[in-house]
């Protein structure tokens, strides 16, 4: 796109009607916010995967579970989601194990509930703002289409005062309106792609968390005997 085309595009935006300008401004703001959350979520999920893999290596290396628990308690600021799930379960395990008359199966049920509660909080945190990306992806094209329809209506209303209607008279107004649809698609496409990718990543992490909770519960149940 050369300089004259760039200038022509900015002229189309500048000459658009007030409603179309408002639609463009809204879509531009939504697009910027969606890109902000795309990068934030990408870094958050990458960090969650790395910390999950690190804790799984430490957990399955055969080390003392009490040491893992102490490390999780004293370094909560840098601990990962899976480490916090283990911490909540092991804390409940230590609490219930001190009750000598408690049935082992009842104690393990309590451990599972404690880990499940932390699991839900961690998954909710990973899924935060995914609904925003989904909304941007589904609504933005329609908002852009609304701006286009409004702009075309505005252009055809202007033809009513002309004695001779020509393509040259109506084309600029239609081109202004179509810019709104283009901005809507520009906002929607990255949001849809990011939402699908991040939702898939969260599902995979959730499966790893659930598998760990079951395996950890089995290990703690054997220690109860």
Q: Which two tokens stand for residue 60?
A: 């399955």
pLDDT over 70, % of the chain = 83
Q: Where are the domains of the chain?
A: 3-224
- Cα–Cα distances in Å, from 58 out to 68, 74, 116? 8, 16, 21
171 — pLDDT class (breaks 50, 70, 90) = low
- CA neighbor of 220 nearest in space, from 83, 117, 93: 93
Question: Do residues 114 and 91 make contact, with C-beta atoms less than 8 angstroms apart?
Answer: yes
Lowest-confidence region among 2-6, 47-51, 125-129, 160-164: 2-6
Mean pLDDT computed over 215-221: 89
Mean pLDDT of 132-146: 92
Where does the chain show beta strands of DSSP type E?
A: none
Going by pLDDT thresholds of 50, 70 and 90, the confidence category of residue 221 is confident
- Cα 202–203–207 angle (5° rounding)? 115
Confidence band, pLDDT 50/70/90 cuts, at residue 204: very high
Number of neighbours of residue 210 by Cβ within 10 angstroms: 15
User: Which backbone phi and psi does 61 adopt, to 5 degrees?
Assistant: -80, -5
Q: Taking residues 66-93, what's their average pLDDT?
A: 88
* Residue 77 pLDDT exceeds 80: no
């Amino acid at each position: 796109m050369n300089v004259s085309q760039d200038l022509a595009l900015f002229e189309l935006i500048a000459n658009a009607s007030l409603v179309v300008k408002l639609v463009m401004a809204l879509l531009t703001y939504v697009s910027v916010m969606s890109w902000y959350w795309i990068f934030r979520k990408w870094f958050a999920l990458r960090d969650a995967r790395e910390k999950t893999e690190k804790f799984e290596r430490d957990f399955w290396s055969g080390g003392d579970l009490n040491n893992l628990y102490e490390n999780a308690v004293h370094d909560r600021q840098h601990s990962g989601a899976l480490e916090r799930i283990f911490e909540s379960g092991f804390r409940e395990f230590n609490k219930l194990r001190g009750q000598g008359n408690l049935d082992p199966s009842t104690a393990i049920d309590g451990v599972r509930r404690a880990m499940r509660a932390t699991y839900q909080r961690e998954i909710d945190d990973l899924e935060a703002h995914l609904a925003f990306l989904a909304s941007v992806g589904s609504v933005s094209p329609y908002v852009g289409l609304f701006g286009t329809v409004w702009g075309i209506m505005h252009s055809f209303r202007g033809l009513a005062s002309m004695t001779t209607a020509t393509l040259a008279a109506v084309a600029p107004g239609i081109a202004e309106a179509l810019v709104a649809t283009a901005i809507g698609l520009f906002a929607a496409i990255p949001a849809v792609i990011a939402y699908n990718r991040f939702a898939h990543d969260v599902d995979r992490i959730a499966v790893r968390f659930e598998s760990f909770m079951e395996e950890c519960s089995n290990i703690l149940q054997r220690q109860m005997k």
